Amino acid sequence: MVVQINFAQSQSDFDNARRLFIEYAETLGFSLCFQGFDEELENLPGKYATPDGCILLAWDELVCAGCVGLRPLSETVCEMKRLYVEPDYRGTGLGRLLAEKIVQFGAEKKYSKILLDTLSSMNSAQALYRSLGFFETEPYYDNPHPDVVYFEKNMTNS
């Protein structure tokens, strides 16, 4: 497997991101309507638009196998969203590669902090985030689901 990580730029890229975002949402078992998910899908790249945000896509030749997004919350704080890897590519390190690249992008953009949230049942994701220097933090937005864990990474010490 030879994977390339590319910035989503074309309509085709955003269509692939939309497909992966939908697959991600379907794995959760609840609606993301409280996050304005339908509007997010309709308006891609939306809040992920460059230069302050991005969507990264992982390609295995012609297969778009994973994605992750980063969007600004303020001038100094951003949020990692929608880290997702297709089932056939899980366990290959692709999720780590995407997460590392998005953290690198955040550092290049001089964000002081990256926030994210995940489900308490997503143990592998939490282990990945911790291994990248994220630590549990207080909720940073109103989420109606009780089993959410919030993480942050201080970029000024990276």
d(CA 111, CA 101): 14
DSSP 8-state secondary structure symbol assigned to residue 157 = G
Domains defined along the chain, listed by start: 3-157 (3.40.630.30)
Supply the mean pLDDT for the chain: 93
Query: CA 25, 26, 29: angle at the middle one, nearest 5?
Result: 95
DSSP calls for 43-62: TTTGGG-TTT-EEEEEEETT
Alpha helices in the chain (DSSP H): 11-28, 37-42, 94-108, 123-131
Q: Are the CB atoms for 113 and 153 separated by under 8 Å? A: yes
pLDDT digits (tens, 9 = 90+) for 37-62: 888 889 999 999 999 999 999 999 99
Q: What is the CA radius of gyration of the chain?
A: 15
pLDDT digits (tens, 9 = 90+) for 102-145: 999 999 999 999 999 999 999 999 999 999 999 999 999 988 78
Q: Work out the percent of the chain whose per-residue pLDDT is above 90.
A: 81
